[in-house]
Chains A and B, each alone.
Chain A
Amino acid sequence: MKIWLLTHGQLVFLEGLKSCLDLLFGEEQQPGQPSPLQFVSSCDLRALFDFVRLSLAPCGSASWKGPVLLVDDLSVLLSLGATPVAVLDFIHYCRVSVCCQLQGNVVVLVHSSEDSEDEENELVVNSLCHHSDLILWAQGLATGFCKDVHGQVRHSPAEQDLVQIYQYKIQDRNVTFFAPGLSAAVL
């Protein structure tokens, strides 16, 4: 699980795996500084939000407009013991501080599947879909594996009923998008 925060012209990065190891195997933490991954033992995501809030706090005279918060992978928080309501609260708090107060953007990644049996995950995903301004959904093709088209992305902005579908092919460092029917296999 990783969190990137682009603010004050800097990139603040939290690596979940490393913080988790430090929490579990490291020496005793000072009481004033709880680890951001405290929720592994205490089921409370407040410390994680405090990390985001403190990184966003204006330092010096100028305040940075338009921070960006990237969360790679919210579904992992559920695997680590957080309840779906706690995860949704965390995202809500982040949205209020980043989007409403600072006019920034929040980008969140979740795993989902149409035939998934993970109800908690589906709850989080549905709720996030309702509150998001833009949903990008990457899926495999319904017809199976293809070497030239690796999948499709459904682009659906909120407020509009328009759903655009782009197909993609992934290369080593790059992804090419094209309209359905215009893949290299056909042209």
Chain B
Amino acid sequence: MAAAGGERGRTSFQRRPGAGPRPSALPGTRPSLRHGQLLLSSGLPSLDCVLGGGIAVGTLLLIEEDKYGLYSNLLFKYFLTEGIVCGHDLFVASAKEHPDNILKELPAPLLDDTYRKELGDEAAVVNSEDFQDSMKIAWRYQNLPKMETSPTTYTKFGHYYDISKKMPPELCQSVKRHSFYLHEELSFEPKMKAWNMNSGYARLLQSIQRIISQEGFDGSDPQKKQRNVLRIGIQSLGSILWGDDVCCSDTPEDPHSLTKFLYVLRGLLRKSLSACIITVPSHLVQNKAIMERVTNLSDMVVGLESFIGSERETNPLYKDYHGLVHVRQIPRLNSLICDVSDTKDLAFRLKRKLFTIERLHLPPDLSDTVSRASKQDLAGSAKLLSSGCGAVAMGKKHLDF
């Protein structure tokens, strides 16, 4: 028995001596704890938390634009700016404004101490109010930790940007930028006729594929020692400027162009070191079937709903926020489950310089007469609460357990 016990102490695992140098990590990436893929930051740390740590390399993030495209444009710029700060290559495609103009308007990065100072100022104001009155009735709750509104990140991944300032041009020039402006492109080659796709999309795919293979993002060039990540940003895909009438007609001429484009793009992303952000004006798309297919074909889908122009703008329940965030889809890579956050009700707000995504906190309704309007509003938003699965079992709203 003693001999067997002694043998059980030694394992058969032996470290291979001289296993070789570790491959150099790509700049601006970190491996995910859940599925081991490399993650990139989206430029907004609170969005990274919502997406389960970040955007995995090889995946596609689709942003459903808000009504006037203001906030989705901000997310688009954050993504590109993060690429510049991390040293990634950029590919910007647009049919609306010239990519060079987009790249001139990127926000400036906030240095650590200035950001902490901003946060510190706000926190100090809050703390000084709190310490004065200790709880009298709910004194048991005095020692509980404060509720975190924005999801916290514990590792240093992702940067903060100041929207009121522009990025210095020398920082912008420090990375390689490729651009695709639809109206400046040459007419498409005859080979693309066989694709049976909108010519604007076909040209964009050709351009992306050319950059990926020429610059070696798909690993085709073994000589290249320092590999880098390509960040692709496509603005307002599906809008009329791309030559697609998905946004103006219930029965578009070619309903499959957009979905085919997304499918082929995802194929290109999967086989290269790249990640892509696309903004789509989904509120303009008449045919909801196409939006369902677009959602199924993308890896991550985040919808923004701003309060501008709606009755929620003046609703006191939402006075601290500028809009809602709907996470419609998160990928499950190499695993059956994904890192989905517990909070399904998210809202965003644009503070003086920063844009954050936070848990939607409704203030308690302390008025003497509880307003009926707010109750109906809450009932409406309760229907928007999403469950973990894509399709929800409609039925009697009874408790199953």
**Which A residues form the contact surface with B (CB < 8 A)?**
17-18, 20-21, 24-25, 40-43, 75-76, 78-81, 111-121, 138-147, 149-152, 167, 170-175, 180-183, 185-186
Query: What is the bound-complex CA distance between A177 and B319, given in angstroms?
Result: 43
Interface of chain B: mostly helix, strand, loop or mixed: loop
Chain B: CB-nearest residue to A139: B393
A146, B288: Cα distance in complex, Å:
28
Which one of B260, B289, B385, B394 contacts A40 once the chains associate, using CB atoms below 8 Å?
Answer: B260
CB distance from B135 to the nearest CB of A (A): 29
Inter-subunit contact A78/B293 (CB<8 Å): yes
A17: chain B residues at CB < 8 Å are 263, 266-267, 270
Assess A112 versus B399: contact at CB under 8 Å? Given A79-B296, A81-B256, A81-B260: no
Give the docked Cα–Cα distance between A182 and B400 (Å). Answer: 10
Min distance, Cβ B201 to any Cβ of chain A, angstroms: 12
Any chain A CB within 8 A of the CB of B388? yes
Residues on B with beta carbons closer than 8 Å to the beta carbon of A20:
263-264, 267
Contact A151-B335, Cβ < 8 Å, known A21-B267, A24-B195, A145-B344? no
Closest 8 CB pairs of A and B: A140-B389, A140-B387, A118-B289, A17-B267, A79-B259, A113-B391, A117-B288, A139-B393
Chain B count of residues within 8 A CB distance of the other chain: 45
Contact status A181-B400, CB under 8 Å: yes
Nearest Cβ distance between residue A185 and chain B, in whole angstroms?
A: 7
Within 8 Å by CB of A111, from B296, B386, B400, lies B296
When distances are taken between beta carbons in the complex, the residues of chain A under 8 Å from B148 are none
- Known interface pairs A79-B256, A118-B293; A21-B271 also in contact (CB < 8 Å): yes
Say whether A79 contacts B297, CB under 8 Å.
yes
Q: Which of A78, A167, A174, A186 contacts B336 (CB 8 A)?
A: A174
Query: Are B195 and A139 in contact, CB atoms less than 8 angstroms apart?
Result: no
* Given the contacts A81-B260, A144-B385, A170-B336, A41 and B390 also touching, CB distance less than 8 Å: no
Residue of B nearest to A174 (CB): B336
On whether the beta carbons of A80 and B292 are closer than 8 Å, the reply is: no
The answer to whether B264 touches A24, judged by C-beta atoms less than 8 angstroms apart, is: yes
Q: A142 contacts B394, CB within 8 Å?
A: yes
Extra 15 A-B pairs, beta carbons < 8 Å, given A40-B260, A113-B292, A147-B342 = A17-B263, A18-B271, A20-B267, A42-B196, A43-B196, A80-B256, A80-B263, A114-B391, A117-B289, A142-B395, A144-B387, A145-B385, A171-B336, A171-B337, A173-B336
